[in-house]
Amino acid sequence: MKKMLSGNEAIARGAYEAGVSFASAYPGTPSTEVLETIAKEYPRIHAEWTPNEKVALEVAAGASYAGARSIAVMKHVGVNVAADPLMTLPYTLIRGGLVLVSADDPELFSSQNEQDNRHYARFAKIPMLEPSTSQEAKDYMIEAIGISEKFETPVMLRTTTRISHSMGIVETGDAAEQLTPSIERHPAELVMLPANARRRHPVIEERICSLRAYSNTSELNTIEMADTSIGIISSGVAYQYAKEAFPTASFLKLGMSYPLPDEIIRDFAAKVETLWIVEELDGFMEEQVKALGIDCHGKDRLPMCGELNPDIVKSAISGQDPEPLKEHPLPGRPPSMCPGCPHRSLLWALKRNKCFIAGDIGCYTLGFLPPLDAIDTTLCMGAGINHAHGMSKVFGAGKENIAAVIGDSTFFHSGITGLANLAYNRGAAVIVILDNRTTAMTGSQNHPGTGITIRGEQTTSLNLEELVKALGITWVRTIDPYDIKKTRKDIKEALAYEGPAVIISKAPCVLLKSRNVSGKRLVVDSEACTGCKVCIGIGCPAIEFKEDKAYINDMCVGCGVCADLCGPSAIGGGE
Amino acid sequence: MNVLMAGVGGQGIILASDMLSEVMMRHGYDVKKSEIHGMAQRGGSVMSHVRYGRQVASPLIPLGSCDILLSFEELETARYVEYLKEDAHVIINSYRLSPPSVISGKEGYPDITPILKERTGRIHMVDGSSIAEEMGNPRGVNIILLGTLSTLLEPDESLWLECINSMLKEKIRPINIEGFKRGREVKIQ
């Protein structure tokens, strides 16, 4: 049957058809919909959100050790978190097929960097498959499970945003049987202490040679001979861009981008006049082709930064720069925190208390934008608490107002160890946990604090306040960020406290049904409005400034923060 | 054929482009569609590329090859002018949503007509938002605009209705079918 599927939906379908039994993930754009689709469409696969990607990969490995087929799904930077298990997993015996799906984000549509995760395949010495369409996303998932079992190795399946979030026609197939799990003890292959790991390392080196031989014969790598004046080696969506730009050129399309098929590459290179390697981000394949002693072009003309498209590929290979575009300066429309978002008032209050605010990964990162200008650092998941602690230590307690903000999901992901460190090393920074009861930025996924699983079943809910106290934090207060005056007072008190202080700013995400706002639009009494712009300063998209007066548009959900800040009490209604 | 849809997060662009893709797949074409989710959910600019034909390679439309631009917000139309073919059709929903710099009074809402006229004279304004308000379904702008778009495309109305029926929940079908028909009544050349 033919269906329009996104790359992520197709990967989920592939997992189903491949007989996968277990799937785990931490949400992260552009990877999130893989596990969401599995949870929604394929009930026979166990699906779980894990607190972070390291857990996701390790639980999937456990399922594989028990003889079941499993996948772990994450965005590119999530693989950094899972890198510790990833580097040793190939030493161990993979029983049920195990696939790590990495969704990379060239152009940084929703990420803090644009690292090229193909390097991880070479680093861990495992095979990597790169689909270039939704159909291939499904087919390659099935192929990846097969390779994993045949060679007893984890396999990486890498997409990019344009594969994960593009849709194409997919021919669906029948589902294979799931494997029956069984306990088997293989201590020499599963207990990675030095004596065992030392014996397993040569297995990896032999395996990668066998995989190279496989790559040379696999139908994943195909030559399409046409006009021989230009030969293009490419993989992933870059292949489609090159095909669009040079439909009559000869192609070596690589579905398996590690290990590279050296014999096919030599064969192809000998048949074409000029050889081009077209790849997004790093010259990963180009370096390896050059190491084979083959002359080729690539990053001498193609950019290392950002995503490619047919126009970039065309001008790079043809050597003709495109016509310069006429500049039309238009007002930008950056994403912003939603009207009524509980992060807004909390960030505003921290800022008013003259805090340096170490940020983290989540919607609140958008507090960086004017007029709030409230985020001073953002590095990676969980880093903010540690930035604040390190900074405040070098000044000494009470010298500077240093705070960190971190969302509840991010805190469970990798904030807990930082907070334990802060308590243990007698830090004094103020840590604000923005507890909005969801993983908001990626589209509201459940987590260990919500009391609900990915499939909507009731489960335990981690108690934040008790957890924070158990880590050794003595000053903990749960506050309502919509009560702006009280919030400012609490922040002042926390800053004055001579030790680590944690504020739990508790209010559900305004996109959740449980949100704590009236939903009724506020109005400005234009007679009373003095045009002081204090309300504009919180950066709410529902407040406009028209003819020297504030005006509240229909995006207002009635959180009331602007009304509380309004000196002449010109904002009312909404009750 | 290359159709670009533009607007602001929350306007229903993703569903509209899903529906166009489904219709073209059922009509027998190869179809690819690409857009960016994620940050776009938070009120940012959104665009969706839909391409269909005998065989489609790139999911992204090359510059200068867009046949139809369907825009849900006036200012957003002008961002994608370099994608337009000469004499491409541009269907614009008469609706302005001020971006932050206009909201805060730092700059005015721009006049987009001269920018578009550099590429094409086939500019069609559609009162999609007003029709949606009138129908008491302000979130139904997307289906109204699809109705207008459909008058420029090959498939019969029946195929569109078939897709609306299979893609939308029963409860919201009647209002969307009505919206689609209202959109089809808008005359453009």
A27 within 8 A of A49, measured Cβ to Cβ: yes
Distance CA A335, CA B8 (A): 10
Any CB–CB contact under 8 A between A325 and chain B? yes
**What is the least distance, in Å, from the CA of A153 to any CA of chain B?**
32
With H, G, I as helix, E, B as strand and everything else as coil, classify residue A60. helix
Residues in chain B: 189
The domain containing residue B71 runs over which residues?
2-185
CB contact under 8 A, B81 and A536: no
* pLDDT above 80 for A321: yes
Cβ-nearest to B39 among A245, A335, A539 = A335
pLDDT digits (tens, 9 = 90+) for A508-566: 999 999 999 999 999 999 999 999 999 999 999 999 988 899 999 888 999 999 999 99
**What is the full per-residue pLDDT of chain B (189 aa) written as tens digits?**
999 999 998 899 999 999 999 999 999 999 999 997 655 556 788 999 999 999 999 999 999 999 999 999 999 999 999 999 999 999 999 999 988 888 878 889 999 999 999 999 999 999 999 999 999 998 899 999 999 999 999 999 999 999 999 999 999 999 999 999 999 999 886
Q: At what angle do helices A236-245 and A310-318 cross, to 10 degrees?
A: 60
Give the total number of structural domains in chain B.
Answer: 1
Q: Which of B11, B17, B34, B61 to probe the A interface (max A CBs under 10 A)?
A: B34
A176 within 8 A of A146, measured Cβ to Cβ: no
Any CB–CB contact under 8 A between B42 and chain A? yes
CB contact under 8 A, A110 and B39: yes
**What is the least distance, in Å, from the CA of B113 to any CA of chain A?**
12
Any CB–CB contact under 8 A between B79 and chain A? yes
Any CB–CB contact under 8 A between A324 and chain B? no
A528 within 8 A of A569, measured Cβ to Cβ: yes
Question: Looking at beta carbons, which residues of chain A come within 8 Å of B42?
Answer: 335-338, 363, 366
Nearest CA in chain B to A543: B103
Sheet holding A227-234, edge to edge: A221-224, A249-254, A227-234, A274-278
Mean predicted lDDT score pLDDT of chain A: 96
A572 within 8 A of A552, measured Cβ to Cβ: no
* Prediction pTM value: 0.97
User: How much is the pLDDT for B184?
Assistant: 97
With H, G, I as helix, E, B as strand and everything else as coil, classify residue A87. helix
Distance CA A445, CA B31 (A): 30
Any CB–CB contact under 8 A between A2 and chain B? yes
**What is the least distance, in Å, from the CA of B78 to any CA of chain A?**
8
With H, G, I as helix, E, B as strand and everything else as coil, classify residue A458. strand
What percent of chain A has a predicted confidence (pLDDT) above 70? 100
Range list of β-strands (E), A86-220? 98-104, 128-129, 155-160, 166-171
Cβ-nearest to A4 among B22, B36, B37 = B22
A145 within 8 A of A111, measured Cβ to Cβ: no
User: How much is the pLDDT for B41?
Assistant: 58
A215 within 8 A of A229, measured Cβ to Cβ: no
What percent of chain A has a predicted confidence (pLDDT) above 90? 94
Mean pLDDT for the stretch of residues A58-76: 98
Question: Looking at beta carbons, which residues of chain A come within 8 Å of B41?
Answer: 335, 443
Spell out a b/e string for A348-382, using b for 16 or more CB atoms within 10 Å of the CB, else e. Answer: bbbbbbebbbbbbbbbbbbbbbeebebbbbbeebb
User: How much is the pLDDT for A327?
Assistant: 81
Rg, chain A, Cα only: 27
pLDDT digits (tens, 9 = 90+) for A461-481: 999 999 999 999 999 999 999
Give one word for A307, left, alpha or beta, with left for phi > 0 and alpha for psi -120 to 50: beta
Distance CA A188, CA A181 (A): 20
Angle at B101 between CA B99 and CA B105, to 5 degrees: 115
User: How much is the pLDDT for B187?
Assistant: 87
pLDDT digits (tens, 9 = 90+) for A213-247: 999 999 999 999 999 999 999 999 999 999 999 99
Distance CA A234, CA A168 (A): 20
3-class DSSP string for B155-189: CCHHHHHHHHHHHCCHHHHHHHHHHHHHHHHCCCC
Lowest mean pLDDT among A6-10, A369-373, B159-163: A369-373
**What is the least distance, in Å, from the CA of A443 to any CA of chain B?**
8
User: How much is the pLDDT for A575?
Assistant: 57
Distance of CA B27 to the CA centre of its chain: 19
CB contact under 8 A, B43 and A336: yes
* pLDDT above 90 for A176: yes
Any CB–CB contact under 8 A between B154 and chain A? no
The set of residues, in sequence order, having a beta carbon less than 8 Å from that of A223 and lying 6+ positions away, is A250, A251, A252, A264, A267, A268
* pLDDT-derived band at A357, boundaries 50, 70, 90: very high
Sheet holding A155-160, edge to edge: A46-49, A22-25, A70-75, A98-104, A155-160, A128-129, A256-258
Any CB–CB contact under 8 A between B166 and chain A? no
Q: How many CB pairs under 8 A join A and B?
A: 136
Spell out a b/e string for A512-550, using b for 16 or more CB atoms within 10 Å of the CB, else e. Answer: eeebebbeebbebeeeebeeeeebbbbbbbbbbbeeebb
Lowest mean pLDDT among A202-206, A210-214, A318-322, A438-442: A318-322
Distance CA A378, CA B77 (A): 33
Any CB–CB contact under 8 A between A499 and chain B? no
Tokens of A431: 């840590």
pLDDT digits (tens, 9 = 90+) for B25-44: 999 999 999 997 655 556 78
Distance CA A141, CA A505 (A): 42
Distance of CA A561 to the CA centre of its chain: 31
Tokens of A428: 């004094």
Q: Which residue has the higher pLDDT, A334 or A379?
A: A379
Mean pLDDT for the stretch of residues A417-425: 97
CB atoms within 10 A of CB A439: 27
B55 within 8 A of B30, measured Cβ to Cβ: yes
Between strands A155-160 and A98-104, the pairing is: parallel
- Reference A358, options A400, A392, A398, A402; nearest CA is A402
C-alpha dist (Å) from residue A550 to A524, A525, A537, B175, B178:
7, 9, 11, 36, 37
- The answer to whether the Cα torsion of A72, A78, A81, A87 is positive or negative is positive
Question: What residue ranges define each of the domains in chain A, with the CATH number in brackets?
Answer: 2-217 (3.40.50.970), 221-318 (3.40.50.920), 342-506 (3.40.50.970), 523-572 (3.30.70.20)
Distance CA A382, CA A367 (A): 17
User: How much is the pLDDT for B43?
Assistant: 76
pLDDT digits (tens, 9 = 90+) for A274-314: 999 999 999 999 999 999 999 999 999 999 999 999 999 99
Count of CA atoms in the C-beta half-sphere (13 A) of A552: 24
* pLDDT above 80 for A108: yes
Tokens of B55: 């065989």
User: How much is the pLDDT for B189?
Assistant: 65
The set of residues, in sequence order, having a beta carbon less than 8 Å from that of A149 and lying 6+ positions away, is A69, A94, A96, A97
3-class DSSP string for A489-547: HHHHHHHHCCCCEEEEEECCCCCCCCCCCCCCCCEECCCCCCCCCCHHHHCCCCEEEEC
pLDDT digits (tens, 9 = 90+) for A42-58: 999 999 999 999 999 99
DSSP string, A2-37: EEEEEHHHHHHHHHHHTT--EEEE---TTTTHHHHH
Tokens of A215: 């790559």
- Reference B52, options B23, B80, B81, B13; nearest CA is B23
C-alpha dist (Å) from residue B13 to B8, B129, B142:
8, 14, 7
- The answer to whether the Cα torsion of A449, A450, A453, A457 is positive or negative is positive
Any CB–CB contact under 8 A between B65 and chain A? no
DSSP string, A152-180: TS-EEEEEEHHHHTEEEEEE--PPPPPPP
CATH code, B88: 3.40.920.10
Question: Looking at beta carbons, which residues of chain B come within 8 Å of A443?
Answer: 37, 41
C-alpha dist (Å) from residue A139 to A17, A61, A173, A343:
9, 22, 10, 42
C-alpha dist (Å) from residue A465 to A118, A468, A510, A514:
41, 5, 22, 20
Q: Which residue has the higher pLDDT, A460 or B138?
A: A460
Question: Looking at beta carbons, which residues of chain A come within 8 Å of B105?
Answer: 545-546
Tell me which amino acid residue A62 is.
G
Window 167-206 of A, Cβ < 8 Å to B: 167-169
Any CB–CB contact under 8 A between B53 and chain A? no
User: How much is the pLDDT for B10?
Assistant: 84
Peptide bond into A259 cis (omega under 30): yes
C-alpha dist (Å) from residue A105 to A14, A157, A339, A559, B126:
22, 14, 28, 35, 36
User: How much is the pLDDT for B22?
Assistant: 98
B143 within 8 A of B16, measured Cβ to Cβ: yes
A179 within 8 A of A67, measured Cβ to Cβ: yes
**What is the least distance, in Å, from the CA of A178 to any CA of chain B?**
31
